[in-house]
Amino acid sequence: MDPKSVLNFANDEGVKFVDLRFTDLPGSWQHISFPISQLTEDSFTEGFGFDASSIRGWANISESDMLLVPDPSRFWIDPFFEEPTLCLFADVVEPLTHEGYTYDPRSVAERAEAYLRSTGLADVAYFGPEAEFFVFDHVSFLNEPHHAFFRFESGEGNWTSDNPDENLGFRIRTKEGYVPVPPFDSLQDLRSEIALNLEAVGISPECHHHEVASGGQCEIDFRFASMLTTADNLMLFKYIVRNTALQYGKSVTFMPKPLYGDNGSGMHCHQSLWKDGQPLFGGDQYADLSEMALYYIGGLLKHAPAVIAFAAPTTNSYKRLVPGYEAPVNLAYSARNRSAAIRIPVFSKNPKTKRLEFRPPDPSCNPYLAMSAMLMAGLDGILNKIHPGEPLEKDIYDMDEAEKLHIPRLPASLEEALAALEADHEFLLAGGVFTRELITRHIEYKRKREVEALRLRPHPIEFQLYFDV
């Protein structure tokens, strides 16, 4: 699509506003709206000026002037706004150099795709995420110096089985929520409407179902695409899911572990490389993979502790990444074995289906940074021929402790992951994809705003454990 096509579409649809969407450093979507008369062909090169000083993780007030440059390749009508509003993804651009802003996550993903092409190894990286989420009927939380709590409610939650009002007895037991039919699964219609709304904005849903946890855990899969397009799709996906749920009077969270004692929400990322329309991960090695695919796996496993500082980037992420809840805490790869950090799907021998599934990420991540980091780790593996070693065919959770000692593990906390990123980030700097400034800003932001925020606060469980000491 070109700017003229966008303007023609806006005219045909009777659009009144244009809404530019961009992403802050932690990964939240932001937007600014303009009357449609402000959008011209020149806007797609000159951009719209805005103040970036109040965006999380971005500019200082002394250097806050930035440009939002809309991308004409993707546009849609917002399905929730009352007035017809055209939406576009926008890159954040430095006004003096007209180059992508250092801290703009989408610009990082664009540089990662350009670097991939510059290597000559491949011309496209396909990504397919499986983002899980919880749907709640009520949510409240508070953090004060003398008072802290959280509480959520779900009509499906097994903890509501004694509810005296409107209780017909169908509740999903802990860890038994995977694909039951109604009346246990009460969210079929909501998921179906989400899928229809996704189609309306150009995302192709492939299936939807209830997930393992009690309390309204769901998954809606959508079709894979190039890395940048997939990261764009994930931002739009979360927006559609949340706002469709709001129309049902419900609230959606993508936080990895809201519910103690049950499965958390992951975002397994399928990925493969292609060149000239041909798949590069099919071959005659383990699980019908190519040597290139094994090297990609080797790079991803080597750098995984640093990668998850972007791919599992919250303190809550590491409450999901614990043994016993289908969480891949061990750095190994295997065909079919879902206890490994990297799984090789074996549904088909067709080379076009050959891919790997990296299982540690979760949907709290900034997809532009997380997917770019995964790609850079994989490319480093290929370029340096990092072999992943032997696959793990045994279920890790059935091993004794002596056997487990020989399997490397992911960091056990965000603090450990940030330390791993601090020690291992040279592979991210290749081709100018990431910058030291962005990596440092990410580490500092996470340590100060999240790690320290949690570390310094008394926790309710501490009162249960220690009040009477």
CA separation for the pair 209, 408 (Å, rounded): 33
Q: What is the pLDDT of residues 369-378, one digit of tens each?
A: 999 999 999 9
Average pLDDT of 247-271?
Answer: 97
Please provide the DSSP assignment of 4-61 as one string.
Answer: HHHHHHHHHTT--EEEEEEE-SSS-EEEEEEEGGG--TTHHHH-EEEE-TTSTT---G
C-alpha 462/C-alpha 464 separation (Å) is 5
Nearest alpha carbon to residue 424 among 305, 295, 299: 305
Q: What is the pLDDT of residues 1-46, one digit of tens each?
A: 899 999 999 999 999 999 999 999 999 999 999 999 999 999 999 9
pLDDT value at position 61?
A: 60
Across 417-439, b (16+ Cβ under 10 Å) vs e yields: bbbbbeebbebbebbebbeeebb
Over the chain, what is the mean pLDDT?
A: 94
Q: Are strands 17-23 and 85-93 parallel, antiparallel or unpaired?
A: parallel
Task: Pull the structure tokens for residue 352.
Answer: 């076009």
**Quick one: pLDDT at residue 163?**
81
Q: Which residues are catalytic?
A: 51, 130, 132, 211, 219, 268, 338, 357, 359
Give pTM, 2 decimals. Answer: 0.96
Q: Please state whether 60 falls in left (phi above 0), alpha (psi between -120 and 50) or beta.
A: beta
CA distance 379 to 115: 10
291, burial (CB in 10 Å: exposed 0-12, middle 13-18, buried 19+): middle
Side-chain half-sphere of 290: how many Cα atoms within 13 Å? 18
| Arithmetic mean of pLDDT, 352-368 | 97
